[in-house]
Copies of this chain bind each other. A is one copy, B any other.
Amino acid sequence: MSTIYTQTLPCGLKIIAEPMSGVKSIGLSWHFDAGTSAEPEDRAGLASVTSEMLLRGGGERDSKAFADVLDRIGASRNVDCSGRTMHLRSSTLGDKLIDVLPMLADNILRPRLDDSTLAPSKELSLQGLESLEDDPRERASIRASTRHFPAPFNRSIYGTESGINAITLEDVQNFWRTRSAPAASVLAVAGSVDPDQLFQKLGELTEPWSGEHETIEPAGSPVRGVDHIEDDSNQVQIMLLAEAPAESDERAALLTKVAVNVLSGGMSGRLFTEVREERGLCYAVSASYRGDDRFGVLSAYVGTTPERAQESLDVLTAEMLKITTPEGRITESEFHRAKIGMKSNVVFHSESTAGRAVGLSGDQRRLGRARSLDEILRNLESVTLEEVNAHLAGFRLLGVTLQTLGPKELTPPASLGI
Protein backbone atom coordinates (compact mmCIF):
# COMPACT_ATOMS: atom_id res chain seq x y z
CA MET A 1 0.00 0.00 0.00
CA SER A 2 1.72 3.14 -1.19
CA THR A 3 1.15 6.76 -0.26
CA ILE A 4 1.14 9.68 -2.67
CA TYR A 5 2.50 13.00 -1.43
CA THR A 6 1.69 16.23 -3.24
CA GLN A 7 2.74 19.81 -2.85
CA THR A 8 2.23 23.01 -4.79
CA LEU A 9 5.26 25.27 -4.46
CA PRO A 10 4.95 29.06 -4.10
CA CYS A 11 5.98 29.43 -7.76
CA GLY A 12 2.96 27.33 -8.74
CA LEU A 13 4.74 24.08 -9.66
CA LYS A 14 2.73 21.01 -8.68
CA ILE A 15 4.89 18.16 -7.32
CA ILE A 16 3.82 14.56 -6.75
CA ALA A 17 6.00 12.01 -4.97
CA GLU A 18 5.41 8.31 -4.45
CA PRO A 19 7.98 6.36 -2.45
CA MET A 20 8.17 2.73 -3.62
CA SER A 21 9.53 -0.09 -1.49
CA GLY A 22 12.17 -2.50 -2.73
CA VAL A 23 13.71 -0.16 -5.31
CA LYS A 24 16.89 1.91 -5.40
CA SER A 25 16.11 3.99 -8.49
CA ILE A 26 13.94 7.04 -9.04
CA GLY A 27 11.98 8.01 -12.11
CA LEU A 28 11.12 11.67 -12.80
CA SER A 29 8.46 12.92 -15.20
CA TRP A 30 8.06 16.66 -15.73
CA HIS A 31 5.36 18.09 -18.00
CA PHE A 32 5.14 21.62 -19.39
CA ASP A 33 2.29 23.16 -21.30
CA ALA A 34 4.52 23.63 -24.35
CA GLY A 35 3.37 21.26 -27.08
CA THR A 36 2.80 21.85 -30.77
CA SER A 37 -0.60 23.42 -30.02
CA ALA A 38 1.30 26.40 -28.60
CA GLU A 39 3.41 26.98 -31.74
CA PRO A 40 2.83 30.13 -33.78
CA GLU A 41 1.02 29.12 -36.97
CA ASP A 42 3.99 29.84 -39.26
CA ARG A 43 6.53 28.09 -37.02
CA ALA A 44 5.35 24.48 -37.25
CA GLY A 45 8.19 22.42 -35.77
CA LEU A 46 9.09 24.93 -33.04
CA ALA A 47 8.20 22.55 -30.18
CA SER A 48 10.38 19.83 -31.66
CA VAL A 49 13.34 22.17 -32.27
CA THR A 50 12.96 23.47 -28.71
CA SER A 51 12.98 19.92 -27.32
CA GLU A 52 16.30 19.27 -29.10
CA MET A 53 17.81 22.51 -27.81
CA LEU A 54 16.69 21.80 -24.24
CA LEU A 55 19.01 18.78 -24.33
CA ARG A 56 22.00 21.01 -25.08
CA GLY A 57 23.24 22.67 -21.93
CA GLY A 58 21.86 24.75 -19.09
CA GLY A 59 23.00 27.15 -16.37
CA GLU A 60 26.76 27.66 -16.57
CA ARG A 61 27.30 24.53 -18.64
CA ASP A 62 27.39 24.00 -22.38
CA SER A 63 26.04 20.85 -23.99
CA LYS A 64 29.16 18.75 -23.39
CA ALA A 65 29.78 19.88 -19.81
CA PHE A 66 26.12 19.32 -18.98
CA ALA A 67 26.11 15.79 -20.40
CA ASP A 68 29.31 15.08 -18.51
CA VAL A 69 27.78 16.00 -15.15
CA LEU A 70 24.67 13.92 -15.83
CA ASP A 71 26.92 10.96 -16.64
CA ARG A 72 28.75 11.43 -13.35
CA ILE A 73 25.41 11.28 -11.57
CA GLY A 74 24.45 8.22 -13.60
CA ALA A 75 21.31 10.01 -14.76
CA SER A 76 19.53 9.52 -18.05
CA ARG A 77 17.50 12.36 -19.52
CA ASN A 78 15.01 12.70 -22.37
CA VAL A 79 12.93 15.55 -23.70
CA ASP A 80 10.11 15.06 -26.16
CA CYS A 81 7.04 16.97 -27.21
CA SER A 82 3.46 16.10 -28.10
CA GLY A 83 0.43 18.13 -29.11
CA ARG A 84 -0.21 19.28 -25.56
CA THR A 85 3.05 19.11 -23.65
CA MET A 86 6.82 19.19 -23.49
CA HIS A 87 7.92 16.21 -21.42
CA LEU A 88 11.23 15.88 -19.58
CA ARG A 89 12.04 12.46 -18.15
CA SER A 90 15.00 11.36 -16.09
CA SER A 91 16.07 8.25 -14.20
CA THR A 92 18.84 7.84 -11.67
CA LEU A 93 19.59 6.20 -8.33
CA GLY A 94 17.66 7.51 -5.34
CA ASP A 95 20.82 8.58 -3.52
CA LYS A 96 21.56 10.95 -6.43
CA LEU A 97 18.27 12.85 -6.16
CA ILE A 98 19.95 15.83 -4.52
CA ASP A 99 22.54 15.93 -7.32
CA VAL A 100 20.17 15.61 -10.24
CA LEU A 101 17.58 18.20 -9.16
CA PRO A 102 19.85 21.26 -9.60
CA MET A 103 20.79 19.95 -13.05
CA LEU A 104 17.16 19.58 -14.10
CA ALA A 105 16.37 23.01 -12.66
CA ASP A 106 19.20 24.46 -14.78
CA ASN A 107 17.83 22.56 -17.75
CA ILE A 108 14.35 24.04 -17.33
CA LEU A 109 14.84 27.46 -15.71
CA ARG A 110 18.12 28.38 -17.41
CA PRO A 111 18.46 26.38 -20.65
CA ARG A 112 21.22 27.61 -22.96
CA LEU A 113 19.08 27.98 -26.09
CA ASP A 114 21.96 29.70 -27.88
CA ASP A 115 23.00 30.15 -31.49
CA SER A 116 25.49 27.29 -31.51
CA THR A 117 22.78 24.67 -30.96
CA LEU A 118 20.04 26.16 -33.16
CA ALA A 119 21.35 24.93 -36.52
CA PRO A 120 21.99 21.29 -35.50
CA SER A 121 18.59 21.15 -33.77
CA LYS A 122 16.82 22.45 -36.87
CA GLU A 123 18.80 19.98 -38.97
CA LEU A 124 17.64 17.07 -36.79
CA SER A 125 14.03 18.23 -37.05
CA LEU A 126 14.32 18.45 -40.84
CA GLN A 127 15.78 14.93 -40.90
CA GLY A 128 12.84 13.71 -38.83
CA LEU A 129 10.45 15.27 -41.32
CA GLU A 130 12.33 13.68 -44.20
CA SER A 131 12.21 10.24 -42.57
CA LEU A 132 8.41 10.34 -42.87
CA GLU A 133 8.82 9.59 -46.56
CA ASP A 134 9.71 6.02 -45.58
CA ASP A 135 6.91 5.70 -43.04
CA PRO A 136 3.50 5.58 -44.76
CA ARG A 137 1.71 4.58 -41.55
CA GLU A 138 3.00 7.62 -39.69
CA ARG A 139 2.12 9.88 -42.63
CA ALA A 140 -1.44 8.58 -42.69
CA SER A 141 -1.67 8.99 -38.92
CA ILE A 142 -0.49 12.60 -39.07
CA ARG A 143 -3.04 13.48 -41.76
CA ALA A 144 -5.80 11.71 -39.81
CA SER A 145 -5.02 13.71 -36.65
CA THR A 146 -4.81 16.95 -38.61
CA ARG A 147 -8.34 16.36 -39.86
CA HIS A 148 -9.81 14.86 -36.71
CA PHE A 149 -8.85 17.38 -34.03
CA PRO A 150 -9.70 21.08 -33.92
CA ALA A 151 -6.83 23.49 -34.57
CA PRO A 152 -4.40 24.07 -32.94
CA PHE A 153 -4.62 20.65 -31.24
CA ASN A 154 -4.29 18.90 -34.59
CA ARG A 155 -0.61 19.55 -35.25
CA SER A 156 2.05 16.90 -35.62
CA ILE A 157 5.37 17.00 -33.80
CA TYR A 158 7.24 16.92 -37.13
CA GLY A 159 6.35 20.46 -38.17
CA THR A 160 6.77 21.62 -41.76
CA GLU A 161 9.83 22.41 -43.83
CA SER A 162 8.94 26.09 -44.15
CA GLY A 163 8.07 26.28 -40.45
CA ILE A 164 11.36 24.74 -39.32
CA ASN A 165 13.41 26.83 -41.74
CA ALA A 166 11.78 30.03 -40.49
CA ILE A 167 12.60 29.37 -36.82
CA THR A 168 14.95 31.93 -35.24
CA LEU A 169 16.73 31.83 -31.91
CA GLU A 170 14.28 34.43 -30.65
CA ASP A 171 11.36 32.16 -31.57
CA VAL A 172 12.78 29.35 -29.44
CA GLN A 173 13.56 31.63 -26.50
CA ASN A 174 10.12 33.25 -26.64
CA PHE A 175 8.38 29.90 -26.94
CA TRP A 176 10.09 28.45 -23.92
CA ARG A 177 9.80 31.61 -21.82
CA THR A 178 6.08 32.03 -22.45
CA ARG A 179 5.14 28.34 -22.29
CA SER A 180 7.25 26.94 -19.45
CA ALA A 181 5.29 28.71 -16.73
CA PRO A 182 5.52 26.93 -13.35
CA ALA A 183 1.79 27.05 -12.63
CA ALA A 184 1.06 24.94 -15.72
CA SER A 185 3.79 22.48 -14.89
CA VAL A 186 3.64 19.08 -13.14
CA LEU A 187 6.57 17.11 -11.76
CA ALA A 188 6.22 13.54 -10.50
CA VAL A 189 8.94 11.50 -8.81
CA ALA A 190 8.51 7.81 -7.98
CA GLY A 191 10.81 5.27 -6.37
CA SER A 192 13.51 5.66 -3.75
CA VAL A 193 12.47 9.21 -2.85
CA ASP A 194 12.06 11.14 0.41
CA PRO A 195 9.12 13.49 -0.33
CA ASP A 196 10.12 16.10 2.27
CA GLN A 197 13.64 16.32 0.91
CA LEU A 198 12.26 16.57 -2.63
CA PHE A 199 9.79 19.33 -1.79
CA GLN A 200 12.35 21.33 0.16
CA LYS A 201 15.09 21.12 -2.45
CA LEU A 202 12.72 22.00 -5.28
CA GLY A 203 11.35 24.88 -3.24
CA GLU A 204 14.86 26.34 -3.05
CA LEU A 205 15.68 25.66 -6.68
CA THR A 206 12.49 27.12 -8.12
CA GLU A 207 12.43 30.25 -6.01
CA PRO A 208 13.41 32.51 -8.94
CA TRP A 209 10.91 30.81 -11.25
CA SER A 210 7.88 32.74 -12.41
CA GLY A 211 5.94 33.43 -15.58
CA GLU A 212 2.47 33.90 -16.95
CA HIS A 213 0.66 31.21 -18.77
CA GLU A 214 -2.00 31.45 -21.44
CA THR A 215 -4.49 28.62 -21.90
CA ILE A 216 -4.97 27.52 -25.46
CA GLU A 217 -8.50 27.09 -26.76
CA PRO A 218 -9.74 25.24 -29.85
CA ALA A 219 -10.19 27.51 -32.87
CA GLY A 220 -13.20 26.41 -34.91
CA SER A 221 -14.39 22.94 -35.83
CA PRO A 222 -12.30 20.03 -37.05
CA VAL A 223 -12.50 18.90 -40.70
CA ARG A 224 -13.04 15.12 -40.26
CA GLY A 225 -14.81 13.03 -42.93
CA VAL A 226 -13.11 10.98 -45.63
CA ASP A 227 -9.63 11.59 -47.00
CA HIS A 228 -7.25 9.62 -49.17
CA ILE A 229 -3.51 10.05 -49.70
CA GLU A 230 -2.49 8.80 -53.13
CA ASP A 231 0.66 6.75 -52.65
CA ASP A 232 2.37 4.42 -55.04
CA SER A 233 3.12 1.77 -52.42
CA ASN A 234 2.11 -1.86 -52.16
CA GLN A 235 0.72 -1.31 -48.68
CA VAL A 236 -2.55 0.32 -47.80
CA GLN A 237 -3.01 2.19 -44.52
CA ILE A 238 -6.54 2.53 -43.14
CA MET A 239 -7.41 4.61 -40.07
CA LEU A 240 -10.79 5.19 -38.54
CA LEU A 241 -11.12 7.79 -35.77
CA ALA A 242 -14.22 8.60 -33.75
CA GLU A 243 -15.17 10.67 -30.73
CA ALA A 244 -14.83 9.03 -27.33
CA PRO A 245 -15.13 10.26 -23.74
CA ALA A 246 -12.28 12.45 -22.49
CA GLU A 247 -10.08 10.80 -19.86
CA SER A 248 -11.39 13.35 -17.37
CA ASP A 249 -14.80 11.66 -17.75
CA GLU A 250 -13.27 8.85 -15.73
CA ARG A 251 -15.93 6.17 -15.63
CA ALA A 252 -16.91 6.50 -19.29
CA ALA A 253 -13.24 6.47 -20.30
CA LEU A 254 -12.68 3.30 -18.26
CA LEU A 255 -15.66 1.54 -19.87
CA THR A 256 -14.34 2.57 -23.30
CA LYS A 257 -10.95 1.08 -22.46
CA VAL A 258 -12.55 -2.23 -21.52
CA ALA A 259 -14.36 -2.28 -24.88
CA VAL A 260 -11.14 -1.46 -26.76
CA ASN A 261 -9.43 -4.31 -24.92
CA VAL A 262 -12.13 -6.72 -26.08
CA LEU A 263 -11.56 -5.52 -29.63
CA SER A 264 -7.81 -5.41 -29.59
CA GLY A 265 -6.20 -6.53 -26.31
CA GLY A 266 -3.76 -9.39 -25.95
CA MET A 267 -3.40 -12.07 -28.61
CA SER A 268 -7.05 -13.00 -29.01
CA GLY A 269 -8.95 -9.73 -29.45
CA ARG A 270 -11.90 -9.60 -31.85
CA LEU A 271 -10.16 -7.55 -34.54
CA PHE A 272 -7.11 -9.77 -34.64
CA THR A 273 -9.29 -12.87 -34.82
CA GLU A 274 -11.87 -11.60 -37.32
CA VAL A 275 -9.75 -9.49 -39.63
CA ARG A 276 -6.38 -11.20 -39.51
CA GLU A 277 -6.73 -14.79 -38.35
CA GLU A 278 -10.10 -15.80 -39.84
CA ARG A 279 -9.90 -13.96 -43.12
CA GLY A 280 -6.16 -13.35 -43.48
CA LEU A 281 -6.98 -9.86 -44.68
CA CYS A 282 -4.09 -7.90 -43.26
CA TYR A 283 -0.69 -7.93 -41.61
CA ALA A 284 -1.67 -5.59 -38.79
CA VAL A 285 -4.92 -4.57 -37.14
CA SER A 286 -5.62 -2.82 -33.86
CA ALA A 287 -7.88 -0.47 -31.96
CA SER A 288 -6.91 2.00 -29.29
CA TYR A 289 -8.23 4.71 -27.03
CA ARG A 290 -6.43 7.91 -26.09
CA GLY A 291 -7.71 10.71 -23.97
CA ASP A 292 -6.73 13.73 -21.90
CA ASP A 293 -8.52 16.43 -19.95
CA ARG A 294 -10.19 17.76 -23.11
CA PHE A 295 -10.42 15.08 -25.78
CA GLY A 296 -11.00 11.40 -26.22
CA VAL A 297 -10.53 9.47 -29.42
CA LEU A 298 -11.24 5.91 -30.43
CA SER A 299 -8.98 4.77 -33.29
CA ALA A 300 -8.88 1.65 -35.40
CA TYR A 301 -6.10 0.73 -37.80
CA VAL A 302 -5.55 -1.80 -40.58
CA GLY A 303 -2.40 -2.23 -42.65
CA THR A 304 -2.98 -4.44 -45.67
CA THR A 305 -2.45 -4.98 -49.41
CA PRO A 306 -4.30 -3.09 -52.16
CA GLU A 307 -6.25 -6.24 -53.14
CA ARG A 308 -7.56 -6.76 -49.62
CA ALA A 309 -8.00 -3.12 -48.65
CA GLN A 310 -11.72 -2.68 -49.36
CA GLU A 311 -12.72 -5.89 -47.61
CA SER A 312 -10.44 -5.05 -44.67
CA LEU A 313 -12.11 -1.67 -44.28
CA ASP A 314 -15.57 -3.24 -44.52
CA VAL A 315 -14.82 -5.92 -41.92
CA LEU A 316 -13.07 -3.45 -39.61
CA THR A 317 -16.03 -1.08 -39.74
CA ALA A 318 -18.48 -3.92 -39.18
CA GLU A 319 -16.59 -5.07 -36.06
CA MET A 320 -16.35 -1.54 -34.66
CA LEU A 321 -20.11 -1.11 -35.06
CA LYS A 322 -21.11 -4.61 -34.01
CA ILE A 323 -19.85 -4.27 -30.43
CA THR A 324 -22.58 -1.65 -29.82
CA THR A 325 -25.38 -3.96 -31.04
CA PRO A 326 -27.29 -6.67 -29.13
CA GLU A 327 -25.64 -9.43 -31.23
CA GLY A 328 -22.20 -7.98 -30.62
CA ARG A 329 -22.48 -7.66 -26.86
CA ILE A 330 -19.32 -8.47 -24.93
CA THR A 331 -19.41 -12.00 -23.52
CA GLU A 332 -18.55 -13.06 -20.01
CA SER A 333 -15.28 -14.63 -21.13
CA GLU A 334 -14.24 -11.64 -23.26
CA PHE A 335 -14.96 -9.38 -20.31
CA HIS A 336 -12.91 -11.47 -17.92
CA ARG A 337 -10.01 -11.60 -20.38
CA ALA A 338 -10.06 -7.82 -20.92
CA LYS A 339 -10.07 -7.10 -17.20
CA ILE A 340 -7.16 -9.39 -16.35
CA GLY A 341 -5.19 -8.05 -19.32
CA MET A 342 -5.75 -4.46 -18.19
CA LYS A 343 -4.91 -5.34 -14.60
CA SER A 344 -1.65 -7.01 -15.64
CA ASN A 345 -0.67 -4.01 -17.74
CA VAL A 346 -1.39 -1.57 -14.94
CA VAL A 347 0.73 -3.62 -12.52
CA PHE A 348 3.64 -4.11 -14.97
CA HIS A 349 3.89 -0.39 -15.72
CA SER A 350 3.57 0.68 -12.12
CA GLU A 351 6.46 -1.52 -11.00
CA SER A 352 9.02 0.53 -12.89
CA THR A 353 9.92 3.81 -11.22
CA ALA A 354 10.05 5.53 -14.62
CA GLY A 355 6.66 4.10 -15.61
CA ARG A 356 5.09 5.02 -12.28
CA ALA A 357 6.36 8.62 -12.49
CA VAL A 358 4.83 8.99 -15.96
CA GLY A 359 1.57 7.52 -14.65
CA LEU A 360 1.43 10.01 -11.77
CA SER A 361 2.17 13.11 -13.84
CA GLY A 362 -0.23 11.99 -16.56
CA ASP A 363 -3.02 11.49 -14.02
CA GLN A 364 -2.43 14.95 -12.63
CA ARG A 365 -2.64 16.53 -16.07
CA ARG A 366 -5.64 14.56 -17.26
CA LEU A 367 -7.70 14.19 -14.09
CA GLY A 368 -6.41 16.97 -11.87
CA ARG A 369 -5.19 14.42 -9.30
CA ALA A 370 -2.82 11.46 -9.11
CA ARG A 371 -4.38 8.08 -8.38
CA SER A 372 -2.77 5.35 -6.32
CA LEU A 373 -2.28 1.95 -7.90
CA ASP A 374 -4.90 0.64 -5.47
CA GLU A 375 -7.46 3.16 -6.66
CA ILE A 376 -6.83 2.28 -10.30
CA LEU A 377 -7.16 -1.44 -9.61
CA ARG A 378 -10.26 -0.93 -7.43
CA ASN A 379 -11.95 1.08 -10.19
CA LEU A 380 -11.16 -1.60 -12.72
CA GLU A 381 -12.39 -4.34 -10.38
CA SER A 382 -15.68 -2.51 -9.83
CA VAL A 383 -16.64 -2.55 -13.53
CA THR A 384 -19.34 -5.12 -14.35
CA LEU A 385 -20.16 -6.72 -17.67
CA GLU A 386 -23.66 -5.23 -17.54
CA GLU A 387 -22.23 -1.75 -17.08
CA VAL A 388 -19.91 -2.06 -20.10
CA ASN A 389 -22.62 -3.46 -22.34
CA ALA A 390 -25.08 -0.77 -21.24
CA HIS A 391 -22.45 1.87 -22.01
CA LEU A 392 -21.78 0.37 -25.44
CA ALA A 393 -25.50 0.11 -26.24
CA GLY A 394 -25.63 3.89 -25.98
CA PHE A 395 -22.37 4.47 -27.84
CA ARG A 396 -22.30 5.53 -31.51
CA LEU A 397 -19.40 6.17 -33.86
CA LEU A 398 -19.72 9.94 -34.12
CA GLY A 399 -17.51 12.62 -35.61
CA VAL A 400 -15.78 10.03 -37.76
CA THR A 401 -12.55 10.58 -39.69
CA LEU A 402 -11.65 7.94 -42.26
CA GLN A 403 -8.09 8.22 -43.55
CA THR A 404 -6.62 5.96 -46.19
CA LEU A 405 -3.24 5.89 -47.91
CA GLY A 406 -2.41 3.70 -50.88
CA PRO A 407 -2.61 3.33 -54.65
CA LYS A 408 -6.36 3.91 -54.88
CA GLU A 409 -9.34 5.31 -53.00
CA LEU A 410 -11.67 3.03 -51.09
CA THR A 411 -15.45 3.26 -50.73
CA PRO A 412 -16.46 4.29 -47.20
CA PRO A 413 -18.96 1.75 -45.81
CA ALA A 414 -22.48 3.23 -45.87
CA SER A 415 -22.88 2.22 -42.21
CA LEU A 416 -20.39 4.93 -41.21
CA GLY A 417 -22.80 7.59 -42.40
CA ILE A 418 -20.04 9.79 -43.83
Contacts and interface: CB of A to CB of B under 8 A. Distances in A.
A71 to B, nearest CB: 4
Contacts of A268: 64, 67-68, 71
Contacts of A277: 63-64
Interface string A55-98: 00000000110011011111110000000000000011100000
A45 interface: no
A220 interface: no
A103 B305 CA distance: 34
Nearest to A272: B67
User: Which size class do A's interface residues fall under?
Assistant: 35 or more
A333 interface: yes
Interface stretch (A3-11, A22-30, A194-202, A240-248): A22-30
A347 interface: yes
Contacts of A222: none
B24 A21 contact: no
Interface stretch (A146-154, A334-342, A382-390, A391-399): A334-342
Contacts of A24: 347, 351
Given A72-B340, A347-B93, A67 B267 contact: yes
Given A22-B22, A22-B23, A64-B273, A71 B351 contact: no
A192 to B, nearest CB: 10
A22, A64, A91, A347: most-surrounded residue (chain B CB, <10 A): A347
Given A25-B344, A347-B93, A336 B267 contact: no
Interface in A1-56: 20-25
A265 interface: yes
A381 B280 CA distance: 55
Contacts of A340: 71-74
A155 to B, nearest CB: 27
Interface string A338-366: 00110110011001110000000000000
Copies per complex? 2
A151 to B, nearest CB: 34
Contacts of A333: 72
A341 B71 contact: yes
A266 interface: yes
Nearest to A345: B74
A352 B191 CA distance: 13
A68 B73 CA distance: 45
A91 B22 CA distance: 19
Nearest to A277: B64
A22 B356 CA distance: 13
A351 B74 CA distance: 16
Contacts of A93: 343-344, 347
A348 B72 CA distance: 16
21 contacts: A20-B22, A21-B21, A24-B347, A24-B351, A25-B347, A63-B277, A64-B273, A67-B268, A68-B267, A71-B266, A71-B267, A72-B333, A72-B337, A74-B341, A74-B344, A75-B344, A91-B344, A93-B343, A93-B347, A351-B353, A352-B352
